[in-house]
Amino acid sequence: MEEKNKSIIFKSSNIINNFEFKDSNIEEVIIQSSISKIEPEAFKNAKKLKKVVIPNSVVEIGSDAFFGCENIREIIIPNSVLHIGENAFWGCKRLERVVLSSALSVIENETFCSCSSLKEIIIPEGVLKIKKGAFSLCDNLESVRLPNTLKKIAEYAFFCCTSLNDINMPLSVKQIKAHAFSSCRSLQNIKIESSLSKIEKYLFSDCPSLSSISLPGSIKKIENGAFNSCFSLKEIIIPNGVKKIGKKTFSYCNSLERVSLPSTLEVIKDKAFENCKNIKKIHIPDSVREIGEDVFSYCTSLEVATIGTNVVELKDRVFNKCDNLRDITLPKNLKNIGYRAFYECRFLQNIIIPDHVEEIGEEAFCNCKMLEKVVIPNSVNRIKKGCFKGSLNLKEVVLPSLLSAIEQEAFFGCTSLSKIVFPSSLKTIDDEAFASCYKLKEVKIPTTLEEVGNKVFNNCKMLN
């Protein structure tokens, strides 16, 4: 080994040993052809290192070999190199150009993580896997060319590559793991032509520039948060074959206007379309048997919704604060309507509650200010707390013949309600159940009533 002007030339030894130049002040390294291996951490944190010449005798670069060498600007890895260890070039902040060996089959964990000046990378043909975080936090990376041999892209592989603007996924790719492209904030277009069977958790979440994506017909599941906070996405066509849409899959996709759901879909999990403020119409096919909580919560432009025949439960807050919902068709086999299911659906005028409904949750229709008439089926035996509270335009209510209880504030503030007929089955009316029903002037109370709460008809000014 010869040292001159802070340059190091290797002449004879076979390897560069572990830690040999860790934390050193060397600026240039020219490795001659006797070297076959650069051991782990050999140049770790050699922060002044600007140039490295690697000969075609080298077959392996160890893990962390050039970790934190933040002044290297170019690295050409010869075709003799069969393996580069994980974190090998982690945090090489000024690295602008990389040429990879054509003999590589794997890009290891975080190999080029935090190489914040890297603008382009060409993954050579022959690479089968890109491992966890391999190019994560490369925030100036604009272009990535993936090889036709690639099979797997691991978790966080391109996480937070904030300048990356498009991706063409080769047919060969079989698996892309969670968060692989999340927080790629400039990503506009994705074309997936591979045989993926599912879109993994948070795969493209927080990609606010993403405006279009083409999904292959091989997809069977779209997992939790896959497209969460893709603010520019306007349309999504879920291909036939998809059976499940996971939690928060499209939540906060504020520009999403059109959603096409396939006839194979069975499950839509919690908050799947929460805060999609531009969806106007949704048709849920008959194949769907489960709709989770908050699925369409805060979809403030939603006007029309049709729910397929196999749904038996509307879970909590499913249409919560859908301000413009005017027309909804409920399935005939529906049994339960959950807590705040239609809370503050202010423009909902009419709703037909199917005959098989057994339970309507607390505040289910609270503050539905335009609701005019409700017929509650005979299968319901209890009207829960605040169920129709604040429904200012509610003029007519038909109570079920087997009703046993009306809970606290159930019809509080229904200021247009003028008449109520209680069935003979009624046993209990709780506190303030009809308080502030200003126009209520006729009430027929059955002799079977056993318990009457406080202020049941408080502030009902027209009631004698």
In this model, does residue 166 exceed pLDDT 90?
no
> Which residue intervals of 33-170 are DSSP H helices?
none
The pLDDT confidence band at residue 8, using thresholds 50, 70 and 90, is low
In this model, does residue 96 exceed pLDDT 70?
yes
Residue 422 backbone phi and psi in degrees, to 5: -90, 140
Distances (CA, A) of 54 to 16, 76, 360, 405: 12, 7, 72, 83
The reply to whether 445 falls in a domain is: yes
Spatial separation of the C-alpha atoms in residues 92 and 183, rounded to whole Å: 21
Q: Which stretches of 255-331 are assigned E, i.e. beta strand?
A: 258-260, 267-268, 281-284, 290-291, 304-307, 313-314, 327-329
Q: What is the pLDDT of residues 175-213, one digit of tens each?
A: 999 999 999 999 998 888 778 999 999 999 999 999 988
**What pLDDT score does 316 carry?**
98
When mean pLDDT is compared across 80-94, 122-136, 211-225, 288-302, the lowest value belongs to 211-225
Angle made by CA atoms 66, 72, 76, in degrees to the nearest 5: 80
**What pLDDT score does 302 carry?**
97
Contact in structure between 371 and 351 (CB atoms under 8 Å) = yes
Number of domains into which the chain is organized = 1
Pairing outcome for strands 7-10 and 2-4: antiparallel
The reply to whether 312 falls in a domain is: no
Q: What is the pLDDT of residues 367-408, one digit of tens each?
A: 999 999 999 999 999 999 999 999 999 999 999 999 999 999
**What pLDDT score does 191 carry?**
82
CATH assignment of the domain containing 442: 3.80.10.10
**What pLDDT score does 6 carry?**
59
Look up residue 127 and give its DSSP letter: -
Spatial separation of the C-alpha atoms in residues 377 and 422, rounded to whole Å: 14
Contact in structure between 13 and 36 (CB atoms under 8 Å) = no
Q: What is the DSSP string of 381-410?
A: -EEPTTTTTT-TT--EEE--TT--EE-TTT
When mean pLDDT is compared across 34-38, 64-68, 93-97, 156-160, the lowest value belongs to 34-38
Contact in structure between 435 and 457 (CB atoms under 8 Å) = yes
The CA-to-CA distance between both ends of the chain, in Å, stands at 107
The pLDDT confidence band at residue 10, using thresholds 50, 70 and 90, is low
**What pLDDT score does 31 carry?**
86
Q: Which stretches of 5-128 are assigned E, i.e. beta strand?
A: 7-10, 15-16, 28-31, 37-38, 51-53, 60-61, 74-76, 83-84, 97-99, 106-107, 120-122
Q: What is the pLDDT of residues 172-185, one digit of tens each?
A: 999 999 999 999 99
Q: Which long-range contacts (CB under 8 A, 24 or more apart) does 184-187 make?
A: 184/158, 184/159, 184/160, 185/209, 186/142, 186/162
Structure tokens at 252: 């906060």
- The pTM assigned to this predicted structure is 0.90
Distances (CA, A) of 208 to 3, 301, 394: 51, 20, 41
The reply to whether 382 falls in a domain is: yes
The reply to whether 227 falls in a domain is: no
Structure tokens at 354: 């199917």
Q: What is the pLDDT of residues 354-370, one digit of tens each?
A: 999 999 999 999 999 99
**What pLDDT score does 127 carry?**
98
Q: What is the pLDDT of residues 297-336, one digit of tens each?
A: 999 999 999 999 999 999 999 999 999 999 999 999 999 9
In this model, does residue 68 exceed pLDDT 90?
yes
The reply to whether 401 falls in a domain is: yes
Arithmetic mean of pLDDT, 81-100 = 97
**What pLDDT score does 448 carry?**
86
Taking the mean position of all CA atoms in its chain, how far away is CA 139? 22
Taking the mean position of all CA atoms in its chain, how far away is CA 331? 27
Q: Give the whole-number percent of the chain exceeding pLDDT 90.
A: 86
Contact in structure between 297 and 270 (CB atoms under 8 Å) = no
Q: Which long-range contacts (CB under 8 A, 24 or more apart) does 159-167 make?
A: 159/133, 159/183, 159/184, 160/136, 160/184, 161/135, 161/136, 161/137, 162/186, 163/119, 163/139, 165/189, 165/209, 166/190, 167/191
Taking the mean position of all CA atoms in its chain, how far away is CA 1? 55
Q: Quick count: other Cβ atoms within 10 Å of Cβ 107?
A: 26
In this model, does residue 1 exceed pLDDT 70?
no
The pLDDT confidence band at residue 19, using thresholds 50, 70 and 90, is low
**What pLDDT score does 2 carry?**
47
Structure tokens at 248: 């928060």
When mean pLDDT is compared across 25-29, 84-88, 207-211, 223-227, the lowest value belongs to 25-29
**What pLDDT score does 5 carry?**
45
Strand partners, 61: 38, 84
Domain that holds residue 409: 371-464
In this model, does residue 55 exceed pLDDT 70?
yes
Spatial separation of the C-alpha atoms in residues 260 and 140, rounded to whole Å: 35
- CB-count exposure of residue 130 (10 Å: 0-12, 13-18, 19+): buried
The reply to whether 427 falls in a domain is: yes
**What pLDDT score does 190 carry?**
87
The reply to whether 389 falls in a domain is: yes
Contact in structure between 89 and 111 (CB atoms under 8 Å) = yes
Q: What is the pLDDT of residues 254-292, one digit of tens each?
A: 999 999 999 999 999 999 999 999 999 999 999 999 999
The pLDDT confidence band at residue 57, using thresholds 50, 70 and 90, is very high
Mean pLDDT of all residues belonging to the chain: 93
Contact in structure between 293 and 267 (CB atoms under 8 Å) = no
Taking the mean position of all CA atoms in its chain, how far away is CA 386? 32
**What pLDDT score does 4 carry?**
47
Nearest of 291, 352, 358, 364 to residue 327 by alpha carbon? 352
Contact in structure between 461 and 439 (CB atoms under 8 Å) = no
